[in-house]
Amino acid sequence: MTVGHLTDAERATVARVRALPVFVFVLLSCSGPEAPDVAVCRDIITRVCLGPICEPVTTKLGVDATNCEATLLMKSGCGNESFAFTSPTRAEVLDCRVPLLRQGSSQKVKPSCADVAEVFTDCPDLVRFLGGTR
Amino acid sequence: MKRALLFFCAGLAACAPIEKTVRTERGPLLRSFTRPMVVEGGLRAEVQVAWPKLEVQVKAHDVCRELSVDEYAEERITERSAPAAGAAFSTGVATTLAAAALFGISFLLSNSPDTTVIDTTGRFGPPPRTIMQGWSIVALAIGLPALAVGGIAFLRTGEDVEQMRVEQETGQKDKECNVRSATGAVRFIGARGEVAVAPLVDGAGSIDASVFKGAPEDLMLADKAITLDEPGVLTLGAFAACVQVEAEGARAPESLGDGALLARVDRMKNCRQVRGDALAEPLAAAEAEVSRRRQTGTPGAFAPGPSVASFEEAVSAYAPRLTFKAGSADLAKLDAPDTLNGQAVFMQGVVSSGLAENIGVLQLGAKEVFVFIPPKRSWSGDFGNGARVEAVAVMAGWQTVGEKTLPLARLVWMRTAF
């Protein structure tokens, strides 16, 4: 351990480090903890299956309004509480999910069918993950 | 960190403008005293005449001044106020308290994240407690600076009293002092500049009248004027009159024009104050000529002109170039009749009075002239007051009758007109 005086640059660094928690706290007050993969997966399924179901959902995933959420949970494996993304990865899924949030971040807001179609067009891996066809 | 805090405080101070008012209050009279001082004075001279010598004694002096001074106590009060301080401080207190309250209340709220929301980065929504604490930080960020601005403004307000002594001059007394003989040379100044110079020895100088190139009117030492007392002014005036009389020479009074004769009489009378009876004989001769002219006119005045038998013949023979009547442009020339001596003029006016047997006054518009009626005139007629006449005449300078001095015109012919 070295004992001595801090230089001006070091003092400035210490000051910045001390101010960091406040900054982080302010940032964190805008969002909560990271959601687990299973929550992310169920969020996508919930949004896709909000009725009335869009045409790409029925054509590409082969589900209807009566069995949409249960079928997709089963095909994707998200019904299991210990589910974790492998392929596609969590990052890829989050990127593909972005169009579904354009109408609002709440799960009660139904995404537009154009946004759903965009997701299915841009993310074939996600369609395959949900048990659908390309 | 300390430097940043310093800049932050300086910025806050700039946000708290201070109004400064300075007023002065006069206190009681402490004392009254006089302050002696010496200021630049001037020059005084005494003149004496021992004809033909003019002797002058010049003294220089300072002015010793005593200033009366009152000394007062005076307070200069500087008041500093910050009108925005109260509002800023109260806002700061309220917002800071609100921040504290929000922070306290936040612990009553759930710390569980909002699982109904997952954002684009895959995070749940913030817990209600965190949201509340975030708002408390925002409130604190507003409240603390406002509190600081208000506090700094309150610290900077106040009143400074500066006590001092002030002086007020209430009066002054001046008197001449340090009188001493002047050195240098006295310059005698006439109407056209310097007319003579007399060097001073121990403040005294003497100069002969023959040296003067003109009549002296003022005295100067270098470029400083010399003040003469009243007797000195009269003596210098008399000496100047003598210098002029000597310069004119010994012309016979009969050869002088009326204006020149009267001026000479005045100068001789004035000169008599310093030369006594030395001029008694020529003065008497000149006064006798003046008296004679008042009765009979100027001898030879008609000699140059031809004798005429009618008004038309007078106009033809004398060919007057100037016309004096109401509204004529030539009337202004009557202000300097000396320049008109011997000139023939045509006049049209109203007889306003007959002062003597052969002297009358003719009103020509706004001007008046004396008209001299020769004893042996060729025309006839009685021209009483108010008579409107026209005349051909020859100008002859100034004429004084009694207390009245007017231009004099010697009539060649006069008749009733308009």
- Residue B57's pLDDT is what? 94
Stretch B189-213: mean pLDDT, rounded?
A: 91
Same domain (yes/no): B405, B318: yes
Any domain includes B367:
yes
Any domain includes B225:
yes
- In this prediction, what percent of chain B has a pLDDT beyond 70? 91
Give exposure, B216-227, as e/b (b: 16+ Cβ within 10 Å): beebbbeeeebe
ipTM of the complex: 0.76
Same domain (yes/no): B220, B255: yes
B380 at A interface, C-beta within 8 A? no
Residue ranges making up the domain that contains B94: 83-156
Residue ranges making up the domain that contains A119: 37-129
Any domain includes B183:
no
Same domain (yes/no): B125, B222: no
- Per CB-CB distance under 8 Å, the chain A contacts of B131 are 29
- Residue B291's pLDDT is what? 80
Any domain includes A7:
no
Same domain (yes/no): B241, B319: no
Any domain includes A116:
yes
- Per CB-CB distance under 8 Å, the chain A contacts of B121 are 31, 94
Q: Which helix (H) or strand (E) holds B403?
A: none
Nearest-CA distance from B17 to chain A in Å?
30
Same domain (yes/no): B225, B287: yes
Instruction: Dig out the tokens for B400 from the structure.
Output: 């004084």
Query: Using one digit for the tens of pLDDT, what is the confidence trace for B59-105?
Result: 999 999 999 999 999 999 999 988 888 888 999 999 999 999 999 99
Highest mean pLDDT among A7-16, B211-220, B281-290, B401-410: B211-220
CA distances from A72 to A11, A37, A94, B3, B88 (A): 56, 15, 17, 61, 60
DSSP reduced 3-state for A20: helix
CA A134 to chain centre: 21
Any domain includes B288:
yes
Same domain (yes/no): B290, B385: no
| Cβ distance of B118 and A40 shorter than 8 Å | yes
| Cβ distance of A31 and B137 shorter than 8 Å | no
Any domain includes A134:
no
B356 or B128, which is more confident: B128
Residue owning tokens 């302050």: B35
Residue owning tokens 């002058």: B56
Q: Is the pTM of this model over 0.80?
A: no
- Residue A27's pLDDT is what? 53
The mean-pLDDT minimum among A119-128, B182-191, B402-411 falls in B402-411
CA distance B91 to B146: 6
Nearest-CA distance from A73 to chain B in Å?
18
- Residue B300's pLDDT is what? 45
Same domain (yes/no): B381, B353: yes
Stretch B342-362: mean pLDDT, rounded?
A: 82
A21 or B266, which is more confident: B266
Q: B335: domain CATH number?
A: 2.40.50.140
CA distance B266 to B242: 11
| Cβ distance of A35 and B124 shorter than 8 Å | yes
CA distances from B178 to B181, B205, B225, B227, B311 (A): 10, 21, 18, 17, 76
Task: Please state the domain count of chain B.
Answer: 3
- Residue B14's pLDDT is what? 57
Any domain includes B259:
yes
At residue B252, does pLDDT exceed 50? yes
Any domain includes A18:
no
- Residue A7's pLDDT is what? 65
| Cβ distance of A29 and B117 shorter than 8 Å | no
Any domain includes A113:
yes
How many beta-carbon pairs below 8 A join chains A and B? 68
Residues of A in CB contact (< 8 Å) with B are 11-12, 15, 22, 25-26, 28-35, 39-40, 43, 90, 94, 97-98, 101, 105-108
Any domain includes B66:
no
Same domain (yes/no): B282, B327: no
Q: Considering only alpha carbons, which residue of chain B is nearest residue A17?
A: B1
Task: Please state the domain count of chain A.
Answer: 1
| Cβ distance of B126 and A34 shorter than 8 Å | no
At residue B4, does pLDDT exceed 80? no
Any domain includes A114:
yes
Same domain (yes/no): B338, B371: yes
| Beta bridge mates, B79 | B21, B159
Residue owning tokens 């684009």: B120
Highest mean pLDDT among A39-43, B155-159, B287-291: A39-43
Q: What is the pLDDT along chain A (134 residues), one digit of tens a residue?
A: 344 565 666 666 555 555 555 555 555 557 788 999 999 999 999 999 998 899 989 998 889 888 899 999 999 999 889 999 998 999 999 999 999 999 988 888 899 999 999 999 999 999 999 887 65
A29 closest CB neighbour out of B1, B119, B134: B134
Any domain includes A60:
yes
Radius of gyration of chain A (CA): 22
Q: Which helix (H) or strand (E) holds B322?
A: strand B322-324
Any domain includes B52:
no
Any domain includes B214:
yes
CA distance A44 to A49: 9
Same domain (yes/no): B335, B377: yes
- Residue B215: name the closest of B185, B262, B247, B263 by CA: B247
